[in-house]
Amino acid sequence: MTTTNPPSVAIIGAGITGLTAAFRLHQRGYAVRVFEQAPHPGGSIRTIREAGYLIEGGPNSLMLGALEAKQLIKDLGLEPSMQVANRLAKKRFICRDGKFLPVPMGPGSFFSTRLFSFRTKAAIFGELLNRRKERTEDLSLADLVSEHFTPELVDYALNPLIAGIYAGDPAQLSVRHAFPMLWDAERSHGSLLRGMMAAGKARRARGEGRASLVSFPDGLQAITDTLAARLPAGALQCGTVVQAVVPGSPHRLTWEQYGQTATGEFDRVIFAVPAAALAQLTVGPGHERPLAELDEIIQPPVSSLFLGYRREQVGHPLDGFGGLVPAIEHRSVLGMLFSTTLFPNRAPAGHVSLTVFVGGLRQPELARLPTEALLAQIARDLHDLVGVSTPPLFVRHSYWPRAIPQYTLGYGRFLAVIDRLEKSAAGLYVGGNVRDGISLQDCIKSGEKLAARVTEK
């Protein structure tokens, strides 16, 4: 590589994946150009300051454990300002019989909790004795957990957990693709619990330590804003929709900005856009859409409602991370975060905020409701779960028509489509949450991997 003529890389999508890849490639001397269809970078990360509140419209916290993610935060100079979630955030609630009950954190509360029956508690101990199993066929997460524990644990632990992470349904998610660590745990240890403990030990041996939940005084957008600010002037082109890629040497991109169509040539192309956007892109001389099948990936809608109250309007002590609601409880909300407990300075003095999630695979139609109807829909849940009987003083509604891709059974066929595209022409790379995991940390790792793959060619 010569410094006078560095290889050029087009990066489509300025979410955390694309920006991480662009930042690393720029550091390594590549000429990067990032195309983003929205007027601003960040993708799903969307922090808003309004009326004294700090609102996360998309993701609310970064679970920071992997070395790559920690290094990125360090390299961006964000480590000194990083906020680790309040110690109280270790306490989480799950709804049972219409009330939030704390998830047991130690042996005492485990034996006394009303969340699980004696049979489930005994099954948790019994599971430690499971023998190794050579499974060849993928199965759903719900089937795996039911087989190892009890259906009650699926209903009252797994189902709400998956609602919280994926806005999804464990009966549809693939163990192999959505939770590969459980697949490996069963194969290596038989017991999922012993396998996970061993994986934790291995992570600590690698120096990863315990993961912590973090954010920043300006919210998660501090990460993507800083990444964008570290790119050379003019490298990030917002308000630009990439429409077509014609692979070749070089690859030719066509994009539209402010109604004008333009083209450019690049040595490499990184695709860091969601599944639906990949499906729309034409890749080939004859406007082929080789990724069209990715449109079949299930990506249900979610509404996130940020609600501000005077402290005395909320009866619950809000002494935790928040609460999740199992489907079997037949409620309207998937769960909620106690946002002002999690991180400091998220609301004006004397006020608190909740971030409530609605919809997902469980009730997609509710996510699509307009704000007023949605507030009416969740009023009973807010009353029963956190003792709210008066309307919020502040509301910010963020609607995600296609929130999170569901790694369902058979997801391998979508990954094969992506593999085929990469094999069809040298210098095309696909990453992001369609392929490498849905969490922010997974996406940072995905961006790092994309940059490493471009660099090693």
Ligand X SMILES: Cc1cc2nc3c(=O)[nH]c(=O)nc-3n(C[C@H](O)[C@H](O)[C@H](O)COP(=O)(O)OP(=O)(O)OC[C@H]3O[C@@H](n4cnc5c(N)ncnc54)[C@H](O)[C@@H]3O)c2cc1C
Q: Which residues contribute to the site for ligand X (CB under 6 A)?
A: 12-18, 35-38, 43-45, 58-62, 241-242, 272-274, 277, 302, 304, 400, 403-404, 432-433, 438-440, 443
Give the residue with the Cβ less far from ligand X, 115 or 213. Answer: 213
Q: How many C-beta neighbours within 10 Å does residue 120 have?
A: 19
Q: How is residue 232 annotated by DSSP?
A: P
Q: How far is the CB of 169 from ligand X (least distance, A)?
A: 17
Q: Which of 273, 338, 326 is nearest to 299 (CA)?
A: 273
Q: Which is nearer to ligand X, 59 or 170 (CB)?
A: 59
Residue recorded with tokens 């964000």? 78
C-beta separation of 273 from 234 below 8 A: no
Distant-in-sequence, close-in-space partners of 8: CB < 8 Å, separation ≥ 6: 30, 31, 32, 33, 250, 265, 266, 267, 268
List the structure tokens of 285: 């001389």
Name which of 290, 285, 287 is nearest 248 in CA terms: 285
- Which residue in the block uniquely carries the two structure tokens 């190794």? 132
In angstroms, what is the minimal distance from the CB of 148 to ligand X?
26
**Distance of closest approach, residue 336 Cβ to ligand X, in angstroms:** 13
CB nearer ligand X, residue 61 or residue 313: 61
Nearer to ligand X, 158 or 277 (CB): 277
Q: Tokens in use for 380?
A: 């009973």
Residue 38 C-beta: closest distance to ligand X, Å = 4
Q: Smallest distance, Å, CB 17 to ligand X?
A: 3
Q: Which helix (H) or strand (E) holds 378?
A: helix 371-386
Residue 105 C-beta: closest distance to ligand X, Å: 21
Select 65 or 190, whichever has its Cβ closest to ligand X: 65
Name which of 113 and 439 has its Cβ closer to ligand X.
439
> Cα(149)–Cα(258) distance, rounded to whole angstroms?
56
